[in-house]
Amino acid sequence: MSSVVAAALLFAPALGLAPAQKLATPSPATSAFGAPVTVEPRPGSPVITALELDSFAPGDTTLPSVWSPYFALLFSVSADTPRPGDIVTIDLPSDMRAIINNSEVSVTLAEGEDPTRIGTVSAVNDGSRVLLAFTDAVSGVRDLRVNSIVMAQIANLRGESGTYRGSLATSSGTFPVSADYSAAPPGFSSVGAYWVNPRGSSAPPTDAAFVAQEAFASQPESASAGGQQFVTLRDASRPLESDVAVLCTGLRLTEVPEVPETLSSTLTTGTPLTAGRDFTTDCGEDADGRAAVTAVIPEPKPGVYYVVSQDFAVTTLGGTIPVVPNEPPIPSRALSVYGWGMKTGAVGSPNVGGLSSVIYSGVSESLAIATPATIGVDVVRGTVPKPGTVVTGGEKIDLSLTVQNTGNLPVQATVRDVISGVAPALLEVRVEPSALGSATVSRGDSDVSVAWTGPLEPGDSHTLSYSVRVSRTLTEAAELRFNARVDATSDTGLDAEQESPEVEFPVRADPTATVSPSPSEPASSSPSPSTSSSGTPTSTPSGTPTSTPSGSATPTATPTATPTATATPTGTPSGSATPTDPTAPPTSPTGLPASPTASGGPGELGATGTDLPLAAGTAAIVVLLGALALAGDQRRRRRTTANDI
């Protein structure tokens, strides 16, 4: 069932409608020039769902009427997530004015609690606009429904009974309205009254709440008795539901040629008289001791009428509020009756003439129900492998953070996971694409953060998935730590936060990874060769047999580490060998001096552990070439010897 139909059924008993009848529904708003206006309220903001014009007293033929043109303006407002400062407006036609005597909008959120004032209803622009404005306290509620009733006073009702039709432009669209009214009852054609804003004031009352008017025929003959006297007062003989007072400075006189068609609106015809020049006033008591205001016209003009307009103040209003279970109460439409009296006659004859009259008032009220607003978020972590599992550099950890809106307000959520314990340069972080919101990775001096931000409706959730891999170049064991936190804010000003327990993963270095030795520990670049006194050079690296050449050979000292295997030729040299000077600088295989330092200069390869395989191979080749030369020389000598024999 739509909200409009629901509101119609809610108001149906008060409006005298059968359940099948519907209230007016809005049509698209139009501007003052008739052009369509697009109305796109914020989602969840207050919207008028129903508006109706009706009688304050269904079945009473005198209300509304030409004599008492007061209508009940009822409207319903719904808001899923009202915000402080949200407003609802109703602009009335030029011939209609809103009269509001109770501006407070309150709601009781829990049994036994005092009502909370969440808004005010006011009549602005001299009653041409009804304004419902929400206060800061509305941030504590959601699913709000308000039923309001204000009095609408129409100024141009004339003649016999009829139907008033009009159109009300609101912040939610335009609503057509209509209501029937009756003719003035017999005997009331010369009296009337109308309400004005503001409705009342603090005691003693100073502001006019309503204006009573009555037309009297002039009495020229009273001039001989001192003039025609007019007395206005509160009629204490009538039962009152309010504190009504006559205002001493609020009496006005207007000369008219005939009784106006209506006295229930501001007088627009006739000639206003001037106090002190055309008449005198006095504020005191009448002959019966009642508070009264008296005006005297010394020389009444024959053949005319005088309309007395008197301001009255009202300090309190009556009314009852029925309660409907599980629904916003329908504001009271009980009538308050204000008695006032006016009389005229010659000065000194206070009891001559005068007709006691009444003014009707519908009690304005706005009542609401709502659900207390709650904001909450939760975050749940998932990991593969499980927290506490030892991982090796190069292995991947898959993680997820699921954020859920556990409150009843839409929120903007931000979840952030701070990764620490390992240098950011050694962490590879990959985030899965997100269809909702946005995910980011940021690197700091000592940690890496993975974050997601996005909107969440009540009950909705979102999962942020990502992976973390520690580089295989990690050389020392470490402890990889994850700390997650989610923050949520709502448009109502409420916020929430939640942290996830810290999880840790011990990380060890990858034992299979190849790591170069530290340059601070270079390998030796020149082993110490030995020389013999017999002139036979002997190179004795570890694991290398002695080579004895048969001819003249000058082996070069090996400036490298010991090779693991070397050929072993034998023979007796025929000439003397030149021993190697152990103090001489070593030479490279190319004959150039070897690098004098372990680290090497610019453009050079330092003699570090990376040189050892090359140097050892070079030494083996040199020794092998020498051995092969000696072997060839021996074979030649044997052949020579055989030939000699």
Residue 435, pLDDT > 60, answer yes
Report the pLDDT averaged over residues 202-211: 59
Q: In whole angstroms, what separates CA 444 from the centre of its chain?
A: 30
Task: Tell me what pLDDT residue 589 has.
Answer: 41
Determine the Cα angle at 407 with ends 401 and 410, to 5°: 85
Largest interatomic CA distance in the chain: 193
First to last CA, the chain: 133
pLDDT value for 6: 33
**ω into residue 204 within 30 of 0, thus cis?**
yes
Q: State the average pLDDT over residues 88-117.
A: 86
| Six token digits for residue 591 | 């004959």
Instruction: State which fold the 377-508 domain adopts.
Output: Immunoglobulin-like (2.60.40)
Any residues with CB less than 8 A from the CB of 384 and at least 6 apart, and which?
397, 398, 399
Residue 318 pLDDT grade (very low, low, confident, very high; cuts 50, 70, 90): very low
Share of the chain above pLDDT 70, in %: 64
How would residue 41 be classed by pLDDT, with cut points 50, 70 and 90? low
Q: What are the domain boundaries of the chain?
A: 3-371, 377-508, 539-575+612-645
Q: 223: which DSSP letter? A: G
pLDDT exceeds 50 at position 63: yes
What is the pLDDT at residue 178? 94
pLDDT tens readout for residues 148-194: 998 899 987 877 889 999 999 999 999 999 999 988 877 777 888 88
Please spell the DSSP secondary structure of 448-502, one letter per residue: EEEEEEEEE-TT-EEEEEEEEEE-TT--S-EEEEEEEEEEEE-TTS-EEEEEEEE
Please report the pLDDT score of residue 14 as a whole number: 34
> So what's the pLDDT on residue 331?
59
Q: Do domains 3-371 and 377-508 have the same CATH topology?
A: yes
Cα–Cα distance, 458 to 375 (Å, whole number): 9
- Taking each continuous run of H as one helix and of E as one strand, the counts in the chain are 2, 31
Of residues 179, 140, 147, the one with CA closest to residue 161: 179
* Domain covering 3-371 assigned CATH 3.90.1720.10 in the classification: no
Whose structure tokens read 């050449």? 549
**Residue ranges with strand state E in 236-334:** 244-256, 271-272, 280-285, 291-297, 305-314
**pLDDT of residue 3 exceeding 60:** no
Q: What is the C-alpha separation between 614 and 565, in angstroms, rounded?
A: 14
pLDDT in tens, 552-570: 444 444 444 444 444 444 4
User: Hunting for tokens 């509160």 — which residue is that?
Assistant: 234
349 pLDDT tier (thresholds 50, 70, 90) = confident
> Are the C-beta atoms of 81 and 199 separated by less than 8 Å?
no
pLDDT at 319 over 70: no
